[in-house]
Amino acid sequence: MAAEASPALVLGGAEEQPLRDLASYRAVGGYAQLERARAMTPQQVIEELIASNLRGRGGAFFPTGRKASFIPTPDKIAKPVYITVNADESEPGTFKDREIMLRVPHRLVEGCLIAAHAIQSRSVFIYIRGEYSTEYDVLQAAVGEAQGAGLLGDVSIVVHRGAGAYICGEETALLESLEGKRGQPRSKPPFPAIEGVYASPTLINNVETITTIPVVLQVGPAEFAKIGVPPDSTGTRVFCLSGNVVRPGAYERPHGITVRELIYDIGGGIADGRKLKAVMVGGSSFPVMTPDEIDTRLDATSLGQRGLFIGSGVVTAIDDRACIVQFALRVAQFYMHESCGKCTPCRVGTRWLVQLLRAVENGSATEHDLELLLDVCDRIIGKCLCVLGDSAAMPVASCVTKYRDEFHEHLAHGGCPFGADSSLDRLFAPVDQHHLAPVAHEAGV
């Protein structure tokens, strides 16, 4: 059932062609839900979101309506309230927000305006990652067009560009960055709903979550709550399928489709006639899935029963050419590079993981180092200010426990048994990049 092509909702109308301009978005009913929402009281809009049980698509899966209900109403607080949209999409394997911004930018804008009405905010910031240049242009054009058509009313939407930092996808780091600081997470509480940007109540939602808001109103909260796997995983996801599959892509499907259906029925199976070895599910921040787990449904409950996470809807197939130690090493190098340095378990722990994994790969590790790897993971998980530390430790720990035989082979073999045959052999990591070498011309000096 779930594998069949179901009507797209978030990407609805943009299956063939992107809906970039206002006229084409209007042609598929665009901005009709904004009009409906504005005819409702803010409280009614929040109640519809609560009834739909829409949950955050950025990774945390927090109920969107409840989050909106935490924002104080104007009679309770003298400060302005803000909306920040998290478009800092940087989780490895994730490209759904980029697809959404390129294909249905106006639906994101409509979602922002409905959310602004719901929490009575007049100021929206969309924090988009700095590398997304074309996406920025498309989104900025959509905001301009909506403004020109008078759709914004008294709401302002500022598209704010990041400058290259994965950590700014963490909500409090995003707020710091938006305030013009280094993107280092804050300790919580206070939570952003009480003290977010400029010490004012702030609603923070991911791009896909906000873009789903018009959909909730369009299909109706009761109907929306029946899609997917009620009661917890309602609605659709724009799944990000990548890696060693025949047809990678962004596929919008209801929650509850299995990993097998996504990889084999939709993605055409593993490329080059290879065998599946592991699956990165949710993003690189979570434990990996083994091939005997691929009949698990992609919903929070089914994954949770296996200690897995839906994250940002990532499914990356890894075939049997990949060395799992190299995979764990490359993942650890990513987090070492992106650790903001504010708290010790993450700053030191990510470097330690890289050292130990490199020793396993090079053949200088011992059995004791495998225990040490797990011990270091244990000393990171749950002990950091934000989840970046956990995000490094969980995938590494899962590789060691689920692919222990392969780690042992490395120890017995005195190094990598795959050598140059591994698809990830010698894969360079930016963390090993030295500062730019001085160049001949010294422009501007």
Give min distance, CB of 395 to other proteins, in A. 10
Q: How do strand 314-319 and strand 236-243 relate by DSSP bridges?
A: parallel
Instruction: Give whichever of 382 and 419 is closer to other proteins, judged by the CB atom.
Output: 419
Give min distance, CB of 264 to other proteins, in A. 17
Q: What is the spatial distance between Cα 305 and Cα 172, in angstroms, rounded to a whole number?
A: 29
Give min distance, CB of 168 to other proteins, in A. 9
Q: How do strand 123-128 and strand 276-281 relate by DSSP bridges?
A: unpaired
Of the residues 250, 360, 377, 385, which one makes contact with other proteins according to CB under 8 A: 250
Instruction: Give whichever of 154 and 368 is closer to other proteins, judged by the CB atom.
Output: 154
Helices and strands, counts by H and E, the chain: 17, 10
Whether 135 contacts 99, CB under 8 Å? no
Q: Find the binding residues for other proteins in span 148-167 (CB under 8 A).
A: 156, 158, 160-166
Q: Find the binding residues for other proteins in span 83-112 (CB under 8 A).
A: 89-95, 97-98
Q: Is 360 in the site for other proteins (CB under 8 A)?
A: no
Instruction: Give whichever of 368 and 441 is closer to other proteins, judged by the CB atom.
Output: 441
Q: Which stretch binds other proteins (CB under 8 A): 123-131, 206-214, 255-263, 382-390?
A: 123-131
Q: Find the binding residues for other proteins in span 361-390 (CB under 8 A).
A: none
Cis peptide before 190 (omega within 30 of 0): yes
Q: What is the spatial distance between Cα 382 and Cα 379, in angstroms, rounded to a whole number?
A: 8
Cα torsion for 420, 425, 428, 432, to the nearest 10°? Answer: -90
Give min distance, CB of 38 to other proteins, in A. 24
- Residue 282 region, left (φ>0) first, then alpha (ψ -120 to 50), else beta? left
Q: Find the binding residues for other proteins in span 64-83 (CB under 8 A).
A: 80
Q: Find the binding residues for other proteins in span 189-208 (CB under 8 A).
A: 198
DSSP secondary-structure letter at 35?
Answer: H
Of the residues 1, 39, 78, 437, which one makes contact with other proteins according to CB under 8 A: 437
> How far lies 60's CA from each of 43, 300, 311, 313, in Å?
24, 10, 7, 11
